Amino acid sequence: MLNMLMNLKDYEVGGFYDEMFTPEGEARPQASALLHRVDSLPEGELQTRQQAAESALLHSGVTFSVYGEAAGTEKIFPFDIIPRILSAEEWATVEHGLKQRITALNLFIDDVYHDQRIIQDGVVPKEIVYSSKAYRQQCIGFNPPRGIWCHITGTDLVRHSDGQMYVLEDNLRCPSGVSYVLENRRIMQSLFPQVFGAQRIRSVRQYTSKLRDVLEYLVPDSVRNPHAALLTPGIFNSAYFEHSFLAQQMGIELVEGRDLIVHDDTVFVRTTRGFERVDVIYRRIDDDFIDPEVFRPDSLLGVPGLMRAYQRGRVALVNAPGTGVADDKVIYAYVPRIIKYYLDEDPVIPNVPTYICSEPEGLQYTLEHIEELVVKAANEAGGYGMLVGPHATKEQHAEFREKVKANPRNYIAQPTLSLSRVPTLIGDELEGRHVDLRPYILYGKDIFVLPGGLTRVALRKGSLVVNSSQGGGSKDTWVLADNAASVTGNQ
Amino acid sequence: MWLALNRFNMMVGTAAASRIPIIDRGGFFGEVKLASQTFAGITNSTMTHGEAWHWCRLGRQLERADKTSRILDVKYFMLLRSVEDVGTAFDDLQWAAVLRSASAFEMYRKRYGRIAVPKLVQFLMLDREFPRAVLYCLLVARDALHAISGTPLGTFRHPPEKLLGQVCSELAYATVDELIGSGLHEFIDDLQQRINRVGDGVYDTFFALRAPEQFPE
């Protein structure tokens, strides 16, 4: 098959799991329609379309800013026009696994702030929960609206060379990136209309409507016209584009802390016609910064009194404060046991094997094998505070050994996975590059998994780091519809 | 609308960051004009003509009234070197350039034909149909402000409405001879300060909400 494809005749699968080709070099069934379309393009056409995509993203303002560079430096999140494609059967498993995981994690969060049965039954050690930076004493005993803590989750999945998908980490605080999913798709549809016409690719466009439904679901029924707002740290935040995009697409107000005021334990937004009550806030500000009266007193981003209003049930916050305890990277290691404990089921999508440095065996193994492991700080995100053993220098190994020894609770280690690859346009050639996948899960009246997600790609040859802050890019993710599911339906 | 704004922002941003001076200035400024007209056109034809749109209109018209008055003042006050120049071919050329700066040349010709200073001041200051004329701009700004607040025209509920209404009335009942007779430069100077006060008043009234007594029950 590879021989039939002229543009792809030099493509090397290269001993990795390739999302589009079998090890023998044959196109996987879900990829063959696209590959033939790509192959039928005249020489140079793929590059032309790649440039068209980049300029469309730039002009649409689909940008992010990188911390540490000059203020106002905006870049597009590099985009590659070759998508990642998932078959209907495989997606069904992913969807099932994510729903299972989120259900269990929500029960876990609720439990650790109430009866703590899971601690009493000895499944998760008390000190692990209590030492998590994101465990909030202020939330003990609190019942969030409709019993939901983690309304929006972006779970990172990776496929190893064994072909199996693993959960790499759970992002339950303020997962970002969904705006790229929606914008990437819009651009792909205009670049490859024939492929979208010929194949049943499931839509992602319903996301913002679903998200709005989640927000409104949290408002008591007695409120006739719920007033929702998206709280952003402001224009200097790296994800500001996403904040403004989501607010605009949902038709809700985009506000900063200074636009909100708490009076009589009720939240109001300043408008040109005076103050108006706010019922639900999708906050894109971490717990630490949302209310200087309760959390960091030096925060200028938040709203004094917001937690008081929240705890009196006057306003809903999405995600609930305190949710971050479940995306602590040490707690992560316990998630398979958490799923078993609450649901009495085995995890559908397994965890990556994880060494917990606060356990003596885990610590010893990590220190001895640091050259081959990925070491992660428990409360960091975005690829910061992380060591990729095989790609690091001896000095970096030594430095991390010291860091881990000094604070074992703060670290976990995992084997370096051989992430799967997808053909990616590098210069004039298609070359394999490593990818991960972040699907988005919404928890409202029911749990909805957006069919697709953000495929992040490490654009540097051989690199495994897909984070946008460190040379990563993104691809559109296509989930094919089987005959039973409609393209736009939610199954 | 956002697309047009982004393109415009990038075009100007790239030029500002460049170390090489712009050689083709005419071309560059032409692009700037085209981009701002495109933006205005798109907002006009795709934005709901509700509160947000009225805000856009209010801001644009106040700014434009100020700018037209400045363009006129440049020639009337600053380029007028001596009385002997008045009425010369050179003087005519400069007045034509003033009209062009306000995109008013063609419309002025249609209305008055020959260039004569009183007619020109009449056209740029007091015309009610030419969209760059100061009075026209202020009347539209006043309409926008009243559409935002819901206050009936001819009455006022807060300081900027009062100020803007007074400026509009004064211009509406002024003649060009009065303007020139009492010193056009001084008049324009005063007008600009009053427009600024309208802007400040709008900020104080609508954007600087502080007092808790304004909470709804």
Q: Per mean pLDDT, which range of A4-13, A49-58, A312-321 is the poorest?
A: A4-13
Chain-chain contact of B214 with A58 (C-beta, under 8 angstroms):
no
Question: In the structure encoding, which two tokens stand for residue B108, read together?
Answer: 């002025």
In A, minimum Cα distance to B212 occurs at A263
Whether the CB-CB separation of A412 and A329 falls below 8 Å is answered with yes
A428: in domain: no
Q: What is the structure's pLDDT at A491?
A: 38
Report residue A448 CA to chain centroid gap.
15
Work out the minimum CA distance from A276 to partner chain B, whole angstroms. 7
pLDDT tens per residue, range B75-134:
887 766 566 666 777 888 888 999 999 999 999 999 999 888 899 999 999 999 999 999
A179 interaction partners in chain B (CB closer than 8 Å): none
**The two three-digit tokens of residue A118, written as one number:** 């899971």
**Which element (helix H / strand E) includes B30?**
helix B25-46
Residue A2 pLDDT > 60: no
Query: What pLDDT was estimated at residue A437?
Result: 97
Written as six digits, the tokens of A137 are: 């004493």
CATH of the domain at A388: 3.30.1490.270
Tell whether the model's pLDDT for residue A8 goes beyond 80. no
* Per-residue CA distances from A349 to A2, A102, A155, B49, B83 (Å): 31, 12, 11, 51, 89
Give every CB contact of residue B128 below 8 A, 6+ residues apart in sequence: B135, B136, B139
Mean pLDDT within A31-57: 89
pLDDT range class, residue A50, cuts 50, 70, 90: very high
CB pair distance less than 8 Å for A263 and B7:
no
- Residue A364 in any domain: the answer is yes
* Residue among A480, A475, A175, A163 at smallest CA distance from A350: A163
Residue A60 to residue B3, Cβ atoms within 8 A: yes
Of A58, A61, A275, nearest to B209 by CB-CB distance is A275
Q: Is residue A129 in some structural domain?
A: no
Amino acid at A469: S
pLDDT averaged over every residue in chain A = 89
| Chain A CB contacts of B207 below 8 Å | 270, 272
Domain membership flag for residue A6: no
* CB–CB contact B215 A264 (8 Å): yes
Mean local confidence (pLDDT), A145-171? 95
Separation of alpha carbons B124 and B129, rounded Å: 10
CA-closest candidate to residue B130, choices B112, B145, B114, B108? B108
pLDDT confidence of residue A489:
46
Cβ burial, residue A98 (10 Å; 0-12/13-18/19+): buried
Across the interface, whether the CB atoms of A274 and B214 are under 8 A apart is answered yes
A266: closest chain B residue by CA: B215
> For residue A373, what are the domain limits?
356-416
Average pLDDT of B130-139? 97
Nearest-by-CA chain A residue for B1: A60
Q: State whether A59 and B10 contact (CB < 8 Å).
A: yes
Q: What is the mean pLDDT of residues A380-407?
A: 84
pLDDT in tens, B19-53: 888 888 888 999 999 999 999 999 999 999 999 99
Note whether residue A388 is domain-resident: yes
Domain count along chain A: 1
Judged against a pLDDT cut of 60, whether residue B213 lies above it is answered with no
B14 vs A279: CA distance, rounded Å: 42
Q: How far are the Cα atoms of A388, B27, B193 from residue B10, in angstroms, in the given order? A: 37, 16, 33
* A294/A273 Cα distance (integer angstroms): 30
Q: Is residue A204 part of a domain?
A: no
CA angle B62, B203, A230 (to 5 degrees): 110
Instruction: Identify whether A96 is part of a domain.
Output: no
Chain A residues inside the 8 Å CB shell of B206: 272
Which residues of A have a CB under 8 Å from any CB of B? 58-61, 263-264, 268, 270, 272, 274-277
Contact list, A276 vs chain B (CB under 8 Å): 216
Q: Give the closest-approach CA distance of B161 to chain A in angstroms.
A: 15
CB contact under 8 A, B212 and A263: yes
Q: Do A275 and B215 touch (CB under 8 A)?
A: yes
A201 bridge partner residues: A480
Give, as one character, the DSSP assignment of residue A18. B
Contact A59 B206 (CB under 8 A): no
Q: Do A60 and B6 touch (CB under 8 A)?
A: yes
Using an 8 Å CB-CB cutoff, list chain A residues near B212. 263
Region B179-196 average pLDDT: 93
Per the CB < 8 Å rule, is B3 touching A58?
A: no
pLDDT digits (tens, 9 = 90+) for A456-491: 999 988 888 887 767 789 999 999 998 655 555 443
User: Is the pLDDT confidence value at A435 over 90?
Assistant: yes
Chain B positions touching A272 (Cβ under 8 A) are 51, 55, 148, 206-207
Over residues A308-313, mean pLDDT: 95
Task: Work out the minimum CA distance from B159 to partner chain A, whole angstroms.
Answer: 15
CA–CA min distance A291, chain B (Å): 19
Tell me which residue in B2, B10, B216 faces A275 most closely, judged by beta carbons: B216
CB < 8 Å to B215, chain A: 263-264, 268, 274-275
Q: Identify whether the C-beta of residue A100 lies closer than 8 Å to the C-beta of residue A343.
A: yes
Among A191-205, A375-389, A443-457, the range scoring the smallest mean pLDDT is A375-389
Q: Give the model's pLDDT for residue B212.
A: 53
A270 contacts B216? CB cut-off 8 A:
no
CA-nearest residue to A270 within chain B is B209
Q: Which residues of A263-277 are buried (b: 16+ CB within 10 A; e: fewer)?
A: eeebbbbbeeeebeb
Q: How far is B167 from chain A (nearest CA, A)?
A: 24
Determine, for residues A277 and B6 on separate chains, whether the beta-carbon distance falls below 8 Å. no
Nearest by CB to residue A263, choosing from B7, B10, B215, is B215
State the nearest Cα–Cα gap between A212 and chain B, in angstroms.
Answer: 22
Per-residue pLDDT tens for A89-135? Answer: 999 999 999 999 999 999 999 999 999 999 999 999 999 999 888 99
Residue ranges covered by each domain of chain B: 1-47, 50-209
Within a domain: A223: no
> How many beta-carbon pairs below 8 A join chains A and B?
32
